[in-house]
Structure 1
């Protein structure tokens, strides 16, 4: 082999290597960095691996008390070398997680393993707090009834329910005249609340704006679908856990949901949000889950016939998944069921990150693919050089 040929092969190898380096460098310096990446420190004394309360004011001109204080909790993952750091220069993914009806951010943060998984995956967790403006018949405020205004929960006159007896018990619903006997949640503008949370996160934290996810359980799962309907833009994927729109409120008409993946996880024996949309224990009707997921798949131009979808969790609580394949929008639409009711099975957190990592590739698939393809090309060129010499 001539020295010129050897030089040519070496040049190709080096070019491929530097091309690979430029791909990784581009990934680190892309325009998906939020404004918060310009600051070297976390805001307001916040430290990594600590759950921090953040308070913001929301202005809703519909209400007489137009400015209201709202709360959410933030946990930025640290590292083994620097567990409690104030540094914020490393760009991270972001997940927003909604608690269920009467739940709290601190509860879901401590009971579930999202913090552990998020630390492993370098994901910032945000836990918003629902508002409780419910007053009993004596006029006493029930501060523990935190809820989300989402897809019929605050005004479900179309749901066919049979009178919960909550007529105008929520102050916001009474003022807005948006309540009926089936209302079971606040009428505050929770989509606006989420918009302000995202604005705060992008301004104050170093977020990869192309990797923002949202999830929630029960009423929080319904709130996740509310964002699918009204505010899908910031999110890459939606993960819903035993929540479904009220009957008559399913609405996937927003064109901005095209190109965003969905994972829905639901217990087959759930009596609070029944899987098949039957009347629940409080005489409420929800949209059947298979109908919700199939409609989402239709919007994403997926095959209309689902297929079996295997996961590493198939032996846990009869965890069983299906997928609507070949989505023209390039996303994944997956429905997983388990043998259980309206309570968290043990694999939810793992299934969430399995979906984001190994299925959609929303967290790190691109980097892996670049690494594998580049390594393969370099290896092939080296083998050619070895044999022809």
Structure 2
């Protein structure tokens, strides 16, 4: 592995684990061919404290500082493996996707994030300019595409609202929209080479789509700091 390899932090969903995420989402083979590092941290009690209403499990109840934990994970990997600080990325499924938004709102170490079936719960008062690619199904009942209360979140914003928020943060132009089968992609070019993209899956449910891992990596690789 090159001493200045990119790093992808893969955050599992609620009730998941690092081992489960490594097994289910297909990152390892892609990392081997793409010469990048993937980290699979474990949230306490199989969840992440995203500091949002009604979320999430033991870390939320106990006030666990998962922002500090994940930041320390990145720092430890950087110290021991010598990763490229301009190529550090975060992705996550569900609760992990929500956590990736929290990281973009509270740290400046990630060049891009890629939430899958997650949403931004917190008021993001000090967002850091970050490229964003969000993947979400319209029939997701746990984290509703249209916002509001689902089985997993309370009072989340809608996915299009969050997309528009980050286009404003990143000083983007008007998005170009294309549709291919059930997938509609909205993509906006932004200041300093950043990009904000949303892939909407018509009637997609709460899951990690088969295409997601490769699409996320291609987006990350194209958007260093």
1:333 and 2:196 are equivalent in the alignment:
yes
Do the aligned partners of residues 92 and 171 (structure 1) sit closer, same or farther apart at CA in structure 2, a change above 3 Å counting? Answer: closer
2:185 aligned with 1:321: yes
5+ unaligned residues in a row in structure 1: which ranges? Answer: 1-76, 78-88, 133-145, 157-168, 174-185, 364-389
Q: CA deviation at 1:275?
A: 0.5
SS in structure 2 of the partner of residue 277 of structure 1: coil
The secondary structure found in structure 2 opposite 1:128 is coil
The 1:116/1:252 distance shift into structure 2, 3 A limit, reads: farther
Q: Does 1:291 align with 2:161?
A: yes
Match of 1:197 in 2: 73
Change (3 A) 1:354 1:155: closer
Change (3 A) 1:328 1:238: same
Aligned to 2:133: 263
Deviation at 1:111, TM superposition (A): 1.2
**Aligned residues of 2:138 and 2:144 also touching (Cα < 8 A):** yes
More displaced, 111-120 or 281-290?
281-290
SS in 2 for 1:149: coil
Counterpart Cα distance in 2 of 1:240 and 1:284: 18
Return the TM-score normalized by structure 1.
0.54
Tell me the C-alpha RMSD between the 2 structures. 2.3
- 2:116 aligned residue: 241
Retained in 2: the 8 A contact 1:301–1:329? no
Give the CA deviation at 1:151: 3.8
**Of the two, which has the highest radius of gyration?**
1
Any gaps of 5 or more consecutive residues in structure 2?
Answer: none
Deviation at 1:202, TM superposition (A): 1.2
User: Displacement of 1:171 after TM fit?
Assistant: 8.2
Q: Is 1:356 matched up with 2:208? A: no
Any conservation in 2 of the 1:262–1:334 contact (CA below 8 Å)? yes
Alpha-carbon separation, structure 1, partners of 2:37 and 2:213 = 14
**Alignment deviations for residues 5-42 of structure 1 (CA, whole Å, 9 cap, x no partner):** xxxxxxxxxxxxxxxxxxxxxxxxxxxxxxxxxxxxxx
Three-state SS of the structure 2 residue aligned to 1:193 is: helix
Which residue, out of 115, 122, 126, partners 1:253? 126
